[in-house]
Amino acid sequence: MYAGPSLQHRPTIQSENVVLRRPQVFDTREIVDILNDWQVAKCLSHVPYPYTLVDAHFFLDHIVPNEWVWAINESGSPKLIGSVSLMPRNGSDVAELGYWLSRDYWGRGLITEAARLVVDYGFKSLQLACITSGCFKDNVASARVLEKLGFVANGRSKRPGPARSGDLPGIDMVLHPPDVQAMR
């Protein structure tokens, strides 16, 4: 059973290239713009497309308070460029890693760096027993991010793909605390 910090406790976390902070209302425009990019939206589960201001307000008012969600900023910039989160599983010490990033920042290692910070937080501060994640089978870049973090495939499933109007083949992945050493 999970006994770590409250969902309301979300520290700012920094590394050389990224700053992770709680998403705020002033991020609304960037959230809508990023998630309305088809190249981003088609890769995501549980995110509607097209993405509206109403969707962004729902995210900020209902998702952010109930998950460990961080906005991703490049170091030195106040602009949101993506998000990374841990979604707790009901009453357990397991959470699911999720993330998205503006296409303008793809290929620079920023999502791997941000996700690594959140995985470390999940194991060290939240004392999670494991972290799950996954991606659509055709999302090779996301699978590569997870592999770099030390995640290993542990199954296949159908994942919701609202932007593509239905469930799609997915790869399920898992990371246990000893595997954290593989991230280094």
pLDDT above 90 coverage of the chain, percent: 84
Output the pLDDT for position 123. Answer: 94
Residue 114 neighbours by CB distance under 10 Å: 27
pLDDT tens, 14-37?
Answer: 999 999 999 999 999 999 999 999
pLDDT tens, 105-147?
Answer: 999 999 999 999 999 999 999 999 999 999 999 999 999 999 9
Region of 67 (left: φ > 0; alpha: ψ -120 to 50; beta: rest) is: beta
Domain parsing of the chain, residue ranges: 13-129
Output the pLDDT for position 161. Answer: 87
Q: Which CATH number fits domain 13-129: 3.30.1360.200, 3.30.1330.10, 3.40.50.2000, 3.40.630.30?
A: 3.40.630.30
Output the pLDDT for position 21. Answer: 98
